[in-house]
């Protein structure tokens, strides 16, 4: 069974840093691209970042570019999101999502974790 | 900047049919945007329904179908059930790159 478990969320002050983790099980993480998607309280979903299966390709939404860094350790089946210079508007539930990103497999998020909450206090 | 549009809300009767759309503030949605659709109920993670315009994700009933209608992607729910009451999001892949943009979501009420 595919499972994704996010951790590392919490309450931080504006300008501080936080690192989120997403531990995968039930499938070989090394074979899949992954993404981070967030949802501010009472708001819609926003794609934040993506990373290719080998970690070479990374991509970011304009809203976090230069502040957030996505990485992965396939040997530990873990995805990371390093968040620096946090702002109040970064307050959200952060989901990791397995990402199909290929012509044959499709372009979409097929499995999601339950999310970890990040709250940035000003 | 890619801005995706969706209807804010829809109401459908039990057993009825509703079609949600997903457009662009500037331009048209086509199959090369690889539109996908997700269902989210409050407090839950999103669930993939449709990808690559019209392919149902594993386990999704055939009451859900995807298509291109004019210059928009569309999600049609036929035979609506109470359990279909959710928020529905479309996502477009930008230029085939590893960049995705979510629409604002459509809240569907079944009553």
Nearest-by-Cβ selection for A45 from B57, B96, B102: B102
Size of interface A-B (CB pairs under 8 A): 72
Here the tokens at position B81 are 């059930």
Closest by CA position to A10, among listed A91, A97, A96, A114: A91
Q: Quick count: other Cβ atoms within 10 Å of Cβ B40?
A: 18
- Model pLDDT, residue A75: 96
* H helix or E strand, kind and range, residue B14: none
Using a CB-CB distance cutoff of 8 angstroms, which residues of chain A are in contact with residue B41?
none
| Tens-place pLDDT, residues A36-67 | 999 999 999 999 999 999 999 999 999 999 99
CB atoms within 10 A of CB B90: 30
d(Cα B2, Cα B29) in Å, to the nearest integer? 11
The per-residue pLDDT string of chain B (111 residues; one tens digit each, 9 = 90 and over) reads: 889 999 999 999 999 999 999 999 999 999 999 999 999 999 999 999 999 999 999 999 999 999 999 999 999 999 999 999 999 999 999 877 889 999 999 999 999
Closest CA to A115 of A37, A47, A35, A14: A37
DSSP lists the bridge partners of residue A98 as: A34, A111
pLDDT at B54 (0 to 100): 96
pLDDT at position B85: 97
- Judge residue A37's burial from the number of C-beta atoms within 10 Å of its C-beta, 0-12 exposed, 13-18 middle, 19 or more buried: buried
> DSSP letter at A85?
S
- Give the residue among A59, A86, A89, A87 at the shortest CA–CA distance from A71: A59
pLDDT of residue B69: 97
Amino acid A78: pLDDT: 98
What is the pLDDT at residue B96?
73
* pLDDT under 50: residue ranges of chain A: none
Rounded CA-CA distance A110/B89 in Å is 14
Nearest to A47 among B40, B52, B102 (CB): B102
Of A44, A59, A95, the CB nearest to B89: A44
| pLDDT for res B97 | 81
């Amino acid at each position: 069974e595919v499972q994704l478990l996010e951790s590392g969320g919490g309450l931080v002050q504006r300008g501080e840093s936080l690192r989120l983790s997403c531990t995968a099980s039930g499938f070989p993480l090394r074979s899949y691209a992954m993404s981070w998607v967030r949802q501010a309280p009472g708001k819609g979903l926003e794609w934040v970042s993506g990373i290719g299966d080998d970690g070479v390709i990374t991509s970011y939404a304009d809203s976090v570019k230069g502040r957030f860094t996505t990485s992965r350790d396939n040997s530990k089946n873990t995805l990371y999101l390093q968040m620096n210079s946090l702002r109040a508007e970064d307050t959200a539930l952060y989901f990791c999502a397995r990402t199909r990103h290929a012509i044959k497999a499709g372009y979409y998020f097929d499995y999601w974790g339950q999310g970890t909450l990040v709250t940035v206090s000003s | 900047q890619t801005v995706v549009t969706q209807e804010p809300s829809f109401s459908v009767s039990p057993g009825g049919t509703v079609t949600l759309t997903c457009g662009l503030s500037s331009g048209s949605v086509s199959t090369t945007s690889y539109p996908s659709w997700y269902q989210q109920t409050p407090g839950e993670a999103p669930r993939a329904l449709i990808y690559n315009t019209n392919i149902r994700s594993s386990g999704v009933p055939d009451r859900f179908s995807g298509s291109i209608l004019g210059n928009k992607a569309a999600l049609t729910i036929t035979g609506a059930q109470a359990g279909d009451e959710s928020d529905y999001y479309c996502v477009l892949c930008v230029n085939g790159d590893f960049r995705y943009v979510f629409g604002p979501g459509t809240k569907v009420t079944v009553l």
